[in-house]
Amino acid sequence: MSVGFIGAGRLAMAMAKGFIRAGAVPAENIFASAPDNLVGRAELRNIKELGIQVTHSNTALVSQSDVVFLAIKANVVKNVLEEISPFVTQRHLFVTPMAGITIKSVEESLPEETRVIRMMPNTPLVVGEGATVYARGEHATKHDAETVEVLLSNVGWCFEGKEEYMDAVTGLSGSGPAYVFLSIDALATGGVKMGLSRQESLRVAAETIQAAARRVLETGAHPSMLKDEVCSNNSLGQSALAAIHKMEKGGFRALLMDAVEAGEDRTKELRRMGEVKNHVED
């Protein structure tokens, strides 16, 4: 199997590293393309260090690849798909990680019966800890889904879902790391306010959130139950309960729920804007 990345930025770099590290795809079977400009040339220099083959030609990449990841920005996808469409054959599987870009819009820009899978990763993928949801297009097969799972399992955790929920996934998982980073920063700043050093506070906050998340995953217990374990009747529990009371009064839970909803709404808005723009251009 050969894998190509149209776009050679951080997402492509992270996935290529994961595939090579796990032995899923040898470096010589991975290709990357980027524009022949300052940014594109810099990206290709970086990704070339992995031992993969690089080019400025998207069409050459497609001709050499079985699985093609569209690791590009949404505002250029229409032009890129028009460029490569004449070179797409039945052997190709396209994977699109772009927020707001539907499977149908990709399928309509490529030859009939082209196999397309849409994925929504998040940035922890760059350290091999991504959480990715993917959905199959009309012509993508079970084998295609298995291929994507094998590849993505090398850069984190993934599962198959329905495309109708992809905007919600974007608000929850795609944008989720930003909510967590903000939480870590806020917790650390609280520690600094109480006299800890910034470095100590950041480490303690990050380790605490990582450990709490691991406990949820490893036990399978509901977070509310685990929260109640912390808020026990001893002195530590009483301190935690006082803090939780303060957070609940401030609307912490509702704020996070609203953030997920706002992320979904913005994704839908961006998609509608893209659809209008493409309609005007056509």
Binding residues: 6-11, 58
Rounded Cα gap, residues 64 and 82, in angstroms:
18
The length of the chain in residues reads 282
Is 190 in contact with 165 (CB distance < 8 Å)? Answer: no
Rounded Cα gap, residues 210 and 105, in angstroms:
37
In 3D space, the residue among 164, 92, 108, 179 whose CA is nearest the CA of residue 133 turns out to be 164
Rounded Cα gap, residues 97 and 73, in angstroms:
10
Annotated binding site for NADP(+): 6-11
Annotated binding site for NADPH: 58
**Where does residue 118 rank: exposed (0-12), middle (13-18), buried (19+ CB within 10 A)?**
buried
Q: What angle do CA 113, 117, 120 make, to 5 degrees?
A: 160
